[in-house]
Structure 1
């Protein structure tokens, strides 16, 4: 678990989500403002997160709804442009997440110098996006072929809006994922972005794989973060940092600061 301190500079890190607005090719892309507006809003959110004191940031195409499980080239190109334009503003470690495509996430990470990715890399699911399959062997080989040996891989083992086709217990999933794939971390989620992760499920996963980093992946708030961090090795946080705690809104720096003040007291 030493990589956590090496990567984030602290224990129990908070990885904040910087959600990109809809991109070219997405159904809700706002062509009037164009990419310039997307970059402007991403910069605003990034600065609010950084100035609010988060430990790291993860850039994702969160508003590319409805999501694809194999994204198109324009999505990765657009995200690379945004991160490139933000490079001079980024002061903290960062990762990327191209929803829901691990190969594209690796490509973007390598192109932009990201330190980690988070994705669905294992399993087969019945989901809102149709039959959702993965190929972790191909994914890890692609990472190796690109020479990204230091890129950290955060495996989301509770995909949002979906369910394993086989009736498998979360403990079995955690154990087999660790044995077969050697993930740098496991991420445990709620139903959707902003939905609270079940603490009991989180606890069962951590107890099943105590030597593996486990992150609480969704739904942390200033009222729940102490409980979640008493179990997890860190958290990925997005919706609660936004104005009124609503998914569609932009980041509210005051909410970020209040949350991080709570986190610092927990660490102490």
Structure 2
């Protein structure tokens, strides 16, 4: 299947590595003594490990801005733009951004930093750990057009982490109507939380229902299951597995990045793509 992925990435079934930024100004966990310089320094170390390990792209997110807001404060995207500006001279792979959990702010940040895609919850209404979570894709799509961001690809997470869809609808039905009515550039399928396994059957249901829209496995990808997941999905987003000891809060490990990417290269070499 030929899609926009072939224009952006050099390899088939790309693996996008998450670059999780430390807590930012305004976040409860922000280290005011170390300041933004410490956030930049950690991000630079992580980027070096991810790129040296052979990932196909990176997605920069405010993963440690816990607990998340569904409408973020301006300081969050502003701080992320500062960090990304410092990373740009070192970035050698395609990159995207994700301001959790704010689709409009994510698109704004992409325009400001030259990012090629964003990932967010753009559709649906959910009961979540962060309260009642509503979306307005029509408003977001119009905002995207107004600010000249039509070339910023939108990755829709239709199985959001830490939340449950309020409508009594099947995953197949949600996928079909999302593709028809809201025009996603890709669909992401997740487990319960960051690092939690994505159900293979759910992934297949979405892939079968998504027509020509690319589908990414969004959480729980590991060296031992990446071939199984990529046999179904068009790409993968990987965060937690790349961390030291596979622990969410740790920094990226070059050895773990290479381990998973070696498995990906083996899959690409032995499977029809």
Q: TM-score, normalised by structure 2?
A: 0.97
Q: Could you tell me how far 1:166 is from its partner in structure 2?
A: 1.1
Aligned to 1:78: 79
**1:168-179 equivalent positions in 2, closer than 5 A:** 168-179=169-180
Q: CA RMSD in A?
A: 0.6
**1:7-18 equivalent positions in 2, closer than 5 A:** 7-18=8-19
Aligned to 2:146: 145
Aligned to 1:260: 261
Within 2, Cα distance between the matches of 1:69 and 1:210? 29
Structure 1 gap ranges (5+): none
Within 1, Cα distance between the matches of 2:46 and 2:179? 34
Within 2, Cα distance between the matches of 1:209 and 1:222? 26
Aligned to 2:32: 31
**1:216-227 equivalent positions in 2, closer than 5 A:** 216-227=217-228
Q: Could you tell me how far 1:167 is from its partner in structure 2?
A: 1.4
Within 2, Cα distance between the matches of 1:167 and 1:33? 47
Question: Deviations along 1:193-224, whole A, 9 cap, x unmatched?
Answer: 00010000000111112311000000100011
**1:34-73 equivalent positions in 2, closer than 5 A:** 34-73=35-74
Query: Tell me, what secondary structure is at the counterpart of 2:198?
Result: coil
**1:121-160 equivalent positions in 2, closer than 5 A:** 121-160=122-161
**1:182-193 equivalent positions in 2, closer than 5 A:** 182-193=183-194
Within 1, Cα distance between the matches of 2:211 and 2:51? 30
Within 1, Cα distance between the matches of 2:115 and 2:13? 20
Question: Deviations along 1:29-74, whole A, 9 cap, x unmatched?
Answer: 0111110000000000011000000000000000000000000011
Within 2, Cα distance between the matches of 1:104 and 1:11? 29
Aligned pairs, number? 268
Aligned to 1:209: 210
Question: Deviations along 1:101-152, whole A, 9 cap, x unmatched?
Answer: 0000000000000000000000000000000000000011111001111111
Q: Could you tell me how far 1:181 is from its partner in structure 2?
A: 1.1
Structure 2 gap ranges (5+): none
Within 1, Cα distance between the matches of 2:150 and 2:72? 23
Q: Is the 8 A contact 2:61 2:97 kept in 1?
A: yes
Query: Tell me, what secondary structure is at the counterpart of 1:76?
Result: helix
Structure 1 residue ranges (4+ consecutive) displaced by more than 6 angstroms after TM superposition: none
Within 2, Cα distance between the matches of 1:214 and 1:70? 26
Aligned to 1:198: 199
Aligned to 1:107: 108
Q: TM-score, normalised by structure 1?
A: 0.99
